[in-house]
Amino acid sequence: MDIENFNSAYFIGIGGIGMSALARYFFSLGWNVAGFDKTETPLTRELQKEGIQIHFEDDVKLIAPYFLDKTTALIVYTPAIPSKNKELQFFKESNFTLLKRSEVLGVLTHSSKGLCVAGTHGKTTTSTLLAHVLNESSLKCNAFLGGIASNFNSNIVTSNTSPYTVIEADEFDRSFLHLSPFASIITSTDSDHLDIYGDANVMLEGFQKYSGLIKEEGFLILKKGLEIKSKAKIITYSIEDNEADFYAFNIRFEDEKFLFDAKFKGRTWQAIQFGLPGIHNAENALSCIAFCLELGLSEEEIRNAFITFKGVKRRFEYLYESKETIYIDDYAHHPTEIKSLIDSVKLLYPNRKITAVFQPHLFTRTRDFMEDFALQLSRVDRLILLPIYPAREEPIKGIDSKFLLSKTTCSEREVIDLESVVSELTNLGNDSLLLTIGAGNIDKLRTPIQEMLDNTDKNIVE
């Protein structure tokens, strides 16, 4: 499909993080862009401020004339939109050109050099870091990201000169199989989305098929230990296995700086300073070192960009810091991600009491990883569980937050609703570290908690 035949793009489900990035991209090209979503959010409000028209009622009559010409209008939709959506039905019945978000990304990677980051964990931070380093270098890039990058305050990066496009390759719904990567990072292949894949082996097969799409003249940066093959050159990395091609070690926090060392190709880089703390982030950074060196960047370019990296909204994001309390918000919604988060905060703040507020995401994921969730959540001092966020799912009998709580061993633990959290946190005490964790609507707590902590600290000072 020649995307240049179109000059208008209409998005059904425009408020999604991936959909909004594509909307911003086409808007930057001068296209007519608009869309529908069922709920107004801070992200949809930002799109509207930028000049993109959005409505929140499923009504074909609200669609502007620009998008009713099937010869010039491209219709993009997300699989999260139900098939009974009236606007989606209209465009299908009228034989418009409809593409899923992942299919549009596939078209874009065919027309540029796609630099893709795949994996069940770490892909948002890693792809955002890669985009930041390239943007700070002479190479530049375009990028479609799965989160709001703090450096760009956006989920998109554009360049009129760069041949490279950084894309977060999403395994959900096998979306990444639409891509055509020139090169890729694969961070992990842990079991997830079993409601889609069925079992871990089928999911691994999906990653193998994705790896087979990488151009032979390109390369694959692969976490050591993953059983993935590729016709392209494979370079391994690890923070655990010193037999990897790139190995990071001596991960530490000194003089309020997060540092690590790296060995590769007979060389050693010492005291690499990284702007985003966390053991897992050192591993993400290591993969980008390997990737960027393959693209021809210098040590100086990489080091300087690492120092200025500010991370991604809701990925190990510091929202409040005082002598009494540190508050970090994180999108972690899988046991492996929660383990990495808790490992990191224990390394950075070994003497602080950890209070975690966790919102499980999906009934199937909670059921499939119940024991692993309980194991990791039991490592905090105080645990507050919210009801399971259902997203696209119906409830499963016997699977709820109370059952998950019964599996944990924290001395302080409870299940409460979202609206009661802030009042429950007013007695955190000194030397406390607060975590809000999850991928649902737990982000609604961010501002109220910040305001509560600020008022509490002011009262202590007074």
pLDDT in tens, 166-218: 999 888 777 889 898 999 999 988 755 555 656 778 888 989 999 999 999 99
Per-residue confidence band for 256, with pLDDT thresholds at 50, 70 and 90: confident
CATH number for the domain spanning 69: value is 3.40.50.720
Domain boundary among the residues 63, 78, 100 is at: 100
User: Please, how many CA atoms are within 13 Å of residue 93, restricted to the half-sphere of its CB?
Assistant: 9
Q: Is 323 in the same domain as 239?
A: no
> Positive or negative CA dihedral for 430, 431, 437, 442?
positive
H or E stretch at 76: strand 73-77
Longest dimension (CA), the chain: 67
- pLDDT in the model for residue 225: 93
**Beta-ladder partners of 236:** 222
Mean pLDDT (the chain) is 92
Among candidates 76, 14, 81, which has minimal Cα distance to 48?
14
The secondary element (H helix, E strand) that includes residue 368 is helix 363-368
DSSP assigned state of 425? T
Cα separation, 133 vs 111, whole angstroms: 22
Q: What pLDDT, on the 0 to 100 scale, is given for residue 460?
A: 46
pLDDT at 459 over 60: no
> Distance between CA atoms of 196 and 171, rounded to whole angstroms?
10
Domain count, the chain: 3
Range 306-313 average pLDDT: 91
123 lies in the same domain as 96 = no
Range of the domain at 242: 112-308
Q: Which residue has the higher pLDDT, 436 or 314?
A: 436
Q: Are residues 260 and 173 in the same domain?
A: yes
What integer pLDDT is reported at residue 194 of this predicted model? Answer: 54
DSSP state letter for 4: G
Whether pLDDT at 32 is above 70: yes
The DSSP call for residue 361 is B
> In angstroms, rounded to a whole number, what is the distance separating the alpha carbons of residues 435 and 433?
7
Q: Is the pLDDT of residue 276 over 70?
A: yes
Indicate if 131 and 160 belong to the same structural domain.
yes
Task: Tell me what the mean pLDDT of segment 261-282 comes to.
Answer: 93
Q: Which two tokens stand for residue 289?
A: 């070192």
Same domain, 8 and 62: yes
Q: How far is CA 323 from the centre of its chain?
A: 30
Are 129 and 273 within one domain? Answer: yes
Helix (H) or strand (E) holding 167: strand 164-169
| Pairing label, strands 97-100, 73-77 | parallel
The three-point CA angle 398-437-224 to 5° equals 100
Position with higher pLDDT, 229 vs 278: 229
Q: What is the pLDDT of residues 112-161, one digit of tens each?
A: 899 999 998 888 999 999 999 999 999 999 999 988 899 998 899 999 89
* Mean pLDDT, range 421-441, rounded to an integer: 92
| CATH code at position 190 | 3.40.1190.10
Tell me, yes or no, whether 170 and 198 share the same domain: yes
Per-residue confidence (pLDDT) for residue 458, from 0 to 100:
58
Q: In this structure, are 82 and 10 located in the same domain?
A: yes
